[in-house]
A and B are shown apart, each in its own frame.
Chain A
Amino acid sequence: MPNCARVPGVGETIQSVERAAAILRLLASGHRQLGVAELARAMGLPKGTLHGILRTLVHVGFVEQDQATGKYRLGATLLHLGSSYLDVNELRTRSINWADALAGRSRESAWIGTLHEGHVLVIHHVFRPDDSMQTLQVGTYLPTHASALGKVLLAHDPYAEPPAPPLHPHTKRTLVEPAALEAELDRVRARGWAAEMEELTEGEVAIAAPIKDRRGIVVGAIGIRGAVERLAPGETLNMEFVSYVRDAARAITRDLAR
């Protein structure tokens, strides 16, 4: 008989997954932490068998080991599995001071967006601080492929499907080739921020960076938008603005981790 791993047939179950589930149930059954010996007694299993399963559960973050006592408890990752969704109004509330500071420092309008049915939903907008006539854009949509916010969100969306071609050319500089967009998203992932150079509206440039939650998942993007003469004089992006945007994104990310 050839030596190969047994693949369970229909109706069969995997013993080690069942044992892992039993450990999680035990750890969830009270407020206490449990040691290997206690778990072994409760499950009627040798410690060696338990060690392997516990090591795996710690590795994926479902279980944590107390540094002081060496005992085990449920991990933070597991606790947050069921509540992965961050309410957009909560995100705005947590971001509002940082978005104000970003608009104040950059002297440009600040924007926060999330993905919604294949578009960028604007969930927060701070006016450019020059007291000119501006209209609040909260609740409006931006195209993902032609906005800095959209590029950041597409680049980090675990379920991302690239927008279906044909991509609408908002200006002559809009990325409409799927391959060109894919290459751009690779760049965004690599450097941690996105720019949009007159790809949505002629004469306007935007910069954005990702906002992450405590698990490191991108839950939104924050950025600024303004005239090309200010943000990218001579067609070259002024990196000072990029650092303002990244600072704001990091500050909100830090806040969400608390």
Chain B
Amino acid sequence: MPRPHYVAAIDQGTTSSRCIVFDQAGHIISVAQREHRQIFPRPGWVEHDADEIWQAVRGVLEEAVSGAGIEDAQIAALGITNQRETTVLWERATGRPVCPAVVWQDTRTDALTRALAEHEGLFKERAGLPLATYFSGPKIRWLLDAYGLRERAERGEVLFGTMDSWLLWNLTGRHLTDVTNASRTMLMNIHTLAWDDELLAALGVPRAMLPEIRPSAEVYGHTAAGVPVAAALGDQQAALFGQTCFAPGEVKSTYGSGSFLLMNTGQEPVVSKHGLLTTVGYRIGDGPATYALEGAIAVTGSLVQWLRDNLGLISSAAEIETLARTVDDNGGCYFVPAFSGLFAPHWRADARGVIAGLTGFVNKGHIARAVLEATAWQTREVVDAMNADSGLDLTTLRADGGMTADNLLMQTLADVLAVPVIRPMVAETTALGAAYAAGLATGYWPDLDSLRANWHKAAEWRPAIDESTREREYRNWKKAVARTLGWVEQEG
């Protein structure tokens, strides 16, 4: 009898690296995880040590395979999914990083991005992205200047990559990036899927340091143990793929510290008029690219953590539901967590958080309700923007991520969106998406339909409030949002 084969996925995240081994039904066989350091040299700065991350990835890969009780030869394919935008520069000759990796949350490029304001239209049109500290391009520019690396980069001695590139370099020895990660750099033309000279010139990034842009699923090379490395996708794109959102109009929403909604928009990029990002969803082999609209919400799960760590109102994140259920409604109170400004669809860096509608009646239970409702209403704002941009109406929301364990939140989401909310059986959709793409590239799974057949509904919440209540609450939420704007006065 031939030994069974499996697919492994590396999920290189912001706080940890994990490796998960899946079987053909998409069930988890084993998991290994290692955390890495978050380095905060100054307020607003966040760095990682790329060497440390590579060591962690090597470790979890070995652990997950041995933990599954199998050998490398039984791994049919290895996929990679990664924290997006985080920027690594390394030396071609030695493969050693030449500076710290600058993490997506890092805001050191604030002044630099503001100075690019004259190019705002160019970035929106060509790269599909607003000007924000979030993306890789300004981070590269900052590092080249700060570490005096420009000349070496122009000679191709110093290389740039997002985490997918860094891992592919170390695993296969090639300097590549996948198209979804490239779509987060502000350097790639979203229409041609190639590096764009005008974007490079606007940011002052030399072409010689950039990796080759490849599809999200193809055999890039083999590991030292001979395993084909066959997929790379940014984490949110991987979740879209893991949720099998293969048809235009299908939407997934991942609830972690922040939340990310992605809508498959088919084979044409849709340039948003409502504050969403245009991004590449995935590209399988030589097939056409599938695009997505993305709504990024900065603070959702991290608001629950804030309630736990900064206010001490709960002792674990899960207890937010217990506290919220001590009351029947929000008591007239609304919480807009614009802790570092508002992301989609507003993109207002000058906003700061408010709790509105306070009266002597409001207690901590009402605040807990308002905290959960904040995630739901922020989702509603992004869904409204997606519906307006795509001309499609959302019919169901596929939710994943840690917060889907919160039943009250899931019910509230269904109530405010007025559509059913569905949780899939495999909560690890990010790693699953990378495994799916790698398995497709190597023929482990024959086609998208075989992946769809693996998707099962684990739970469904249906809307249970009436339209007038929904409209009244949305109006109140919008009033609260209006009160966050213009709080921070622009320096200089």
Q: How far is the CB of A121 from chain B (nearest CB, A)?
A: 12
Q: Give the docked Cα–Cα distance between A132 and B319 (Å).
A: 32
Cα(A88)–Cα(B323), bound, Å? 12
Nearest residue (CB) in A for B406 is A89
Beta-carbon contacts under 8 Å, A114-131 to B: 125-127, 129-131
Please tell me which stretch of B59-67, B278-286, B457-465 contacts chain A, meaning at least 4 of its Cβ atoms lie within 8 angstroms of it: B457-465
Interface residues of B in 149-206 (CB under 8 A from A): none
> Do residues A93 and B405 form an inter-chain contact, with CB atoms below 8 A?
yes
Residues of B within 8 A of A101 (CB): 27-28
Taking CB atoms, residues of chain B closer than 8 Å to A103 are 425, 458
Residues on A with beta carbons closer than 8 Å to the beta carbon of B322: 87-89
A92 at the interface (CB under 8 A from B): yes
When the two chains form the complex, which single residue of B317, B319, B402, B457 contacts A127, counting CB atoms closer than 8 Å? Answer: B457
| Min distance, Cβ B241 to any Cβ of chain A, angstroms | 19
Q: Does A136 contact B (CB under 8 A)?
A: yes
Report the tally of A-B residue pairs with Cβ distances under 8 A: 68
Contact code string B394-410 (vs A, CB < 8 Å = 1, else 0): 00000000101111000
Are B319 and A97 in contact (CB-based, < 8 A)?
Answer: no
Cβ-defined partner of B460 (8 Å) among A89, A93, A97, A127: A127
Does B9 lie at the interface of the complex (its beta carbon under 8 Å from any beta carbon of A)? Answer: no
Contact with B along A78-99 (1 / 0, CB 8 A): 0000000001111011001100
Chain B residues, CB < 8 A from A92: 318, 405, 407
> Which B residues, 287 to 322, have Cβ-Cβ distances below 8 Å to chain A?
316-322
Q: Which residue of A lies closest to B460 (CB)?
A: A136
Q: Cβ of B461 and Cβ of A136 under 8 Å apart?
A: yes
We find that the number of chain A residues with CB closer than 8 angstroms to chain B is 24
- How far, in whole Å, are A102 and B259 apart by their CA atoms in the complex? 28
Residues of chain A within 8 A of B321, CB atoms compared: 89
User: Would you call B459 and A136 a contact (CB within 8 A)?
Assistant: yes
A100 and B425 contact, Cβ closer than 8 Å, known pairs A88-B322, A89-B318 = yes
What 0/1 pattern do residues 470 to 483 of B give for CB contact below 8 A with A? 00000000000000
- Take A96-B405, A104-B25, A125-B459 as given contacts and tell me if A90 and B425 are in contact as well, using a CB distance cutoff of 8 Å: no
Q: How far is the CA of A47 from the CA of B54 in the complex (A)?
A: 55
Q: Which of B27, B402, B457 contacts A104 (CB 8 A)?
A: B27
**Proximity string of chain B (448-472) to chain A, C-beta cutoff 8 Å, 1 when within and 0 when not:** 0000000011111100000000000
- Whether, in the assembled complex, A138 has its beta carbon less than 8 Å from a beta carbon of chain B, the answer is yes
The distance in angstroms between the C-alpha atoms of A44 and B162, with both chains bound, is 66
A93–B322 Cα distance when bound, in Å, is 12
Asked if A100 contacts B316 (CB within 8 A), the reply is no
| B238 proximal to A (CB < 8 A) | no
B427 part of interface (Cβ distance < 8 Å)? yes
Q: How far is the CB of A75 from chain B (nearest CB, A)?
A: 21
Check if A214 is an interface residue, CB within 8 A of chain B: no
Complex alpha-carbon distance, A90 and B459, angstroms: 18
Residue pairs across A and B with Cβ atoms less than 8 A apart, 12 shown, are A88-B322, A89-B321, A90-B318, A92-B318, A96-B405, A97-B28, A104-B27, A125-B459, A129-B425, A131-B456, A131-B457, A135-B460
Closest 5 CB pairs of A and B: A129-B456, A90-B318, A89-B318, A93-B318, A93-B405
Please give the residue numbers on chain A whose beta carbons come within 8 Å of chain B beta carbons, in ascending order: 87-90, 92-93, 96-97, 100-101, 103-105, 125-127, 129-131, 134-136, 138-139
